[in-house]
Amino acid sequence: MKDKFQKIFKGGLGQLTIPIVAILFLVGFNLIRDPSFFSIETTLNNNGNMVLAGNLISIINGASELAVLAMGMTLVTAACGGQDISVGAAAAIAGSAFVKILKSSPNITGFTVVAAFLFACVVAMLFGAFNGTLVSVFKIQPMIATLILYTCGRSIAYWINGGATPTVSSPIINAIGSFIPGVPIPTPVLIVAAVAIIFVLVFHFTSLGLFTQSVGINGSAARLNGINSTFIKLLSFIILGLCVAVAGTIGVSRLGLINHETLLLDIEMDAILAVAIGGNSLGGGKFKISGSIIGAYVIQMLTITLYAMKVPSTDVKAYKAIVIILLVVIGSPVIKSKFQKYIAKIKSNRQRVSMKGAE
């Protein structure tokens, strides 16, 4: 037991150190500030279900779309060494596509919802493939390539539903956006868990992880080892497309309507930030999806903490920026190597003392 702990302490955490420390710091800060921040209670919601409520629940629930996007963004970052800034706009397209199918049938059944979701997936994957082709085949820098969809995405979303912001009211949609009757945990949280499990399975049953990292670290060597790096990059964008469809569906279901102007607005920057807080290099290469997921919850917890402190919503972004500067600086290579040197010094001192003791 002790050995295991030591092993983890010695560097098993590695990349996850920063996001975990950030979470612990926020938890500690809130514990001192107001322990009731963490209270979880069960309440009756509008539909008469017993459900869990509290700040913690709203953090985990609220970060769902971000967490899903951060997972896909991690993969794109690792393979291409750049980020997709069009995920917010693409989610609006996916959401509009989702609503389009729902609206086309007179009453919303389970079947229509599934069909609508699949349609949204296909649409989002096509747009992902568009981005991916620009990046992998035409070798355009990811940020420039995705700037195109970032710029025009919400207009496309607007066209899909003829400029309206249609509402969808259905118990099924409501169940996706909030709670399934009889289940006290918010559905988006369950969806994030499902997506995470799918990622784990994909990494287990394919070589996606190894190939993506190889392409991201040394594309030339990867190619000479027979890896089709164009395909791997394209694939990462298509997988991100799936994540976009899931995020868009959650977003639409939460509100029960599609507003192409505001759905998941500015989420691309938070998604990139989550990847960075997760300790992943934005230059590509080695990655840990778990880091990005924790990163997403760090961002959301920060937001909710600020709201709980009654910080006016207009000021929240400024305070958020301060904390993020701290996180990014602490995670920077300069500070890291300083810290490692310090640890090494302590260790060698200790060694010297024990050597002397042995003499």
Supply the minimum distance, in Å, between the C-beta of residue 351 and another protein. Answer: 8
Question: Binding string, 250-289, against another protein, x = CB under 8 A?
Answer: -----------------------------------xx---
Among candidate residues 184, 155, 145, 346, the one with its CA nearest the CA of residue 261: 155
Taking the least distance from each CB to another protein, the nearer of 104 and 349 is 349
Residue 96: C-alpha distances to residues 70, 131, 253, 269 (Å): 21, 19, 11, 21
Taking the least distance from each CB to another protein, the nearer of 93 and 227 is 227
- Round to whole Å and give the CA distance between 356 and 348: 12
Supply the minimum distance, in Å, between the C-beta of residue 348 and another protein. Answer: 6
- Round to whole Å and give the CA distance between 15 and 246: 27
- 51 pairs with which residues across the strands? 43
Taking the least distance from each CB to another protein, the nearer of 74 and 213 is 213
Residue 228 found at the interface with another protein (CB under 8 A) = yes
Taking the least distance from each CB to another protein, the nearer of 33 and 341 is 341
For the record, the structure tokens of 308 come out as 């709980």
Taking the least distance from each CB to another protein, the nearer of 80 and 208 is 208
Q: Rule CB under 8 A: which of 74-103 touch another protein?
A: none
- Round to whole Å and give the CA distance between 276 and 327: 10
Residue 224 found at the interface with another protein (CB under 8 A) = yes
Among 210, 321, 335, 353, binds another protein (CB under 8 A): 210
Contact region for another protein (CB under 8 A) — 133-141, 148-156, 170-178, 344-352? 344-352
For the record, the structure tokens of 350 come out as 């200790």
Q: Is 12 left (phi over 0), alpha (psi -120 to 50) or beta?
A: alpha
Which contacts of 328-337 are long-range, i.e. CB under 8 A and separated by 24 or more positions?
A: 328/276, 328/277, 330/18, 330/21, 331/18, 331/276, 331/277, 331/279
Residue 211 found at the interface with another protein (CB under 8 A) = yes
Taking the least distance from each CB to another protein, the nearer of 125 and 271 is 125
Q: What is the DSSP string of 15-66?
A: GGHHHHHHHHHHHHHHHHH-GGGG--EEEE-TTS-EEEESHHHHHHHHTHHH
Contact region for another protein (CB under 8 A) — 18-26, 155-163, 316-324, 347-355? 347-355
Residue 145 found at the interface with another protein (CB under 8 A) = no
Supply the minimum distance, in Å, between the C-beta of residue 128 and another protein. Answer: 18
Residue 206 found at the interface with another protein (CB under 8 A) = yes
Supply the minimum distance, in Å, between the C-beta of residue 227 and another protein. Answer: 6
Q: Is 310 left (phi over 0), alpha (psi -120 to 50) or beta?
A: left
Residue 301 found at the interface with another protein (CB under 8 A) = no
Residue 333 found at the interface with another protein (CB under 8 A) = no
85 near 143, Cβ under 8 Å? Answer: yes
Q: What's the chain's Rg over C-alpha atoms? A: 22
Residue 17 found at the interface with another protein (CB under 8 A) = no
Among candidate residues 103, 74, 81, the one with its CA nearest the CA of residue 292: 74
3-state class of 13 per DSSP? coil
Residue 214 found at the interface with another protein (CB under 8 A) = yes
Residue 222 found at the interface with another protein (CB under 8 A) = yes
Residue 115: C-alpha distances to residues 104, 343, 357 (Å): 11, 56, 72
Supply the minimum distance, in Å, between the C-beta of residue 70 and another protein. Answer: 21
- A 10 A CB-CB count for 328 gives 14
Supply the minimum distance, in Å, between the C-beta of residue 160 and another protein. Answer: 34
Residue 105 found at the interface with another protein (CB under 8 A) = no
Supply the minimum distance, in Å, between the C-beta of residue 68 and another protein. Answer: 23
Q: Which residues bind another protein (CB under 8 A)?
A: 204-208, 210-211, 213-214, 217-218, 220-228, 285-286, 344, 347-348, 351
